Every structure is written in structure tokens, then in C-alpha cells.
Amino acid sequence: MVSFLVDKLQHLSGGLVYTVVALLVFGEAALFIGFVLPGETSVIVAGVVASQGRVNVVALCALVVVAAIIGDSVGYEVGRHYGKNLMTLPILNRRHAELERALEGLKRRGVIYVFIGRFTAFLRAVMPGLAGMSRMRYRRFLAANASGALIWGVSFTLLGYFAGSALTSIEKYSGWAGTSLLVLIVVALVAYYFIKKRRKTSTEAVWKLEHPGGDSEQSAQ
């Protein structure tokens, strides 16, 4: 898939490369083409083309992020207005069990699940629509989605850019790259939680030492 897309994109002008990649990223969730062509594939390919000097990598990163956010916002609105009807489409109906599990995960974890969904092909294609169906507030969805789109878009564009000519290896390891990136993010969030909790515990301990009768006085009040 990567070699095929690179071969096609190499024959396009810089402007058309930007246009094609933006449409593919936009359509992944807005038009559900992510079931056919995972977004990271087109983004990585665009990064490879950028490494050849045909497009600007900084502009490409910005374009990918913006296209992802706008496409997911459209997918959110589609899900909010037409969600139940969409569930009957053959391409979605065949994966009904997976969609139900995704909806359950969305109800339990909310914005965290939206953020995590950006890094897996199936959830990236359906998460915006499911968020709209579940009536999640758009502001909350946008914050989580934009954060994920920023990290995802820049990371996979640069993956293609720095991988350069290693075309046969890129697609094979792109899924692992997404998983690894997600694991790093989760580890960082967990570490931040425990550090914050430890600091809070230390602060409470210091306060108790400075106010030895504080608890009993508060209880009496």
C-alpha cells in the first residue's frame, strides 16, 4: 500500500499532494474511508514525499493536524444527527459487536477514550461518530480530539519523513509505532498522577506536623 501510494504521489505536483493527503485524512472519520485506507498510511507516505523535497514537512504537519480535527468534527456531527441510521450500513453493521464495545468504552472513559482512539485504526474511523451519538459535549470532544490529532499527525508525518526510503518497512511497523506512542503517553499520564498524588500526600503530612491539633479541632467544629 505504501509503495503504491508513493508511486502515485510522486507524479503529482506539490499542491496536489497536499490536497490528496488532506482529503484522505479528512475523510477517514468524516466519510468512514478509514475502513479501507487507514489514515496513518497516507500521512506516512506524505512524510516520505516530503523527505524527497517535494512538499514542506512543517506545512504538511500543520495540514494533517487541521484536516484530522475538521474531519473528526464533521464525523461527530454526522454521528449526532444520523448515528442510528449509520449503524445499519453494511460496512458498520458487520462490526456491530466492536461498535457496541467502543460505545461502552466511550461511556465509561469519556474524553480519555476519544484521545486514545486516535491511535488505533478502527477507533480513529468511528470514534467521532460514536461521540456524537453518545451526546458528548462538543467542547469536551474537541479538546480530546485536537490533542490526539496534534500528537498523531506530527508523529506519523515525521515517521515517514525520517524513514525516507525505507518504504517496505514503514507500513509493517506503523501499527507498532502507534501502539508504542500510545503506551508512552499512558505511562506519562500515570507517572504524572502518582507524582501529583505523592506531592499532595507530602503537603498534607507537612500541614499536620505544623498543625498537630488541626484534625481534632476541625472534627469538633
Q: How far apart are CA 18 and CA 93, in angstroms?
A: 33
Mean pLDDT in residue range 34-44: 76
Higher-confidence position of 108 and 202: 108
Q: Does residue 175 have a pLDDT over 60?
A: no
Contact partners, residue 58, CB within 8 Å, separation at least 6: none
pLDDT band at 185 (very low <50, low <70, confident <90, very high): low
DSSP at 65: H
H helices of 52-166, in order, are: 57-86, 90-93, 96-109, 111-117, 121-133, 138-163
In the prediction, which pLDDT does 5 show?
Answer: 66
Percentage of the chain beyond pLDDT 90 is 25
Residues in the chain: 221
Q: How far apart are CA 216 and CA 3, in angstroms?
A: 71
Mean pLDDT in residue range 24-31: 85
Mean pLDDT in residue range 41-47: 85
Sign of CA dihedral 184, 148, 119, 60: negative
Q: How far apart are CA 218 and CA 198, in angstroms?
A: 24
Domain boundaries, the chain: 2-171
In the prediction, which pLDDT does 221 show?
Answer: 40
Mean pLDDT in residue range 40-48: 85
pTM of the model: 0.71
In the prediction, which pLDDT does 218 show?
Answer: 44
